[in-house]
Amino acid sequence: MLAAAACAILAALGAIHLYWAAGGSVGKDGAIPSIDGKPVISPGPVGTALVSVALFVAAALVAAAAGLIATSVPPILLKGAAGLLAFVFAARAIGDFNYVGFFKRVKGSRFAQRDTFLYSPLCVLLAALIGVAAAA
Residue 90 included in any domain: yes
Residue 36 included in any domain: no
Q: Is 120 helix (H, G, I), strand (E, B) or coil?
A: helix
Number of residues assigned to the chain:
136
Find out whether 92 and 120 touch, Cβ atoms under 8 Å.
Answer: yes
Q: How many angstroms separate the CA atoms of 110 and 92, rounded?
A: 18
Residue 14 included in any domain: yes
* Segment 62-103, tens digit of pLDDT: 999 999 999 999 999 999 999 999 999 999 999 999 999 999
What pLDDT, on a 0 to 100 scale, did the predictor assign at position 29? Answer: 87
Pairing relationship of beta strands 38-39 and 34-35 according to DSSP bridges: antiparallel
* Segment 3-46, tens digit of pLDDT: 999 999 999 999 999 999 999 999 998 999 999 889 999 999 99
Range of 71's domain?
2-25+42-135
Q: How many angstroms separate the CA atoms of 54 and 35, rounded?
A: 27
Residue 11 included in any domain: yes
What pLDDT, on a 0 to 100 scale, did the predictor assign at position 37? Answer: 86
What pLDDT, on a 0 to 100 scale, did the predictor assign at position 136? Answer: 83
- Classify residue 115 as exposed, middle or buried by CB count within 10 Å of its CB (0-12, 13-18, 19+): buried
Domain tally, the chain: 1
Q: Is the dihedral of CA 111, 92, 53, 65 positive or negative?
A: negative
Q: How many angstroms separate the CA atoms of 28 and 55, rounded?
A: 17
What pLDDT, on a 0 to 100 scale, did the predictor assign at position 7? Answer: 97
What pLDDT, on a 0 to 100 scale, did the predictor assign at position 118? Answer: 97
Residue 110 included in any domain: yes
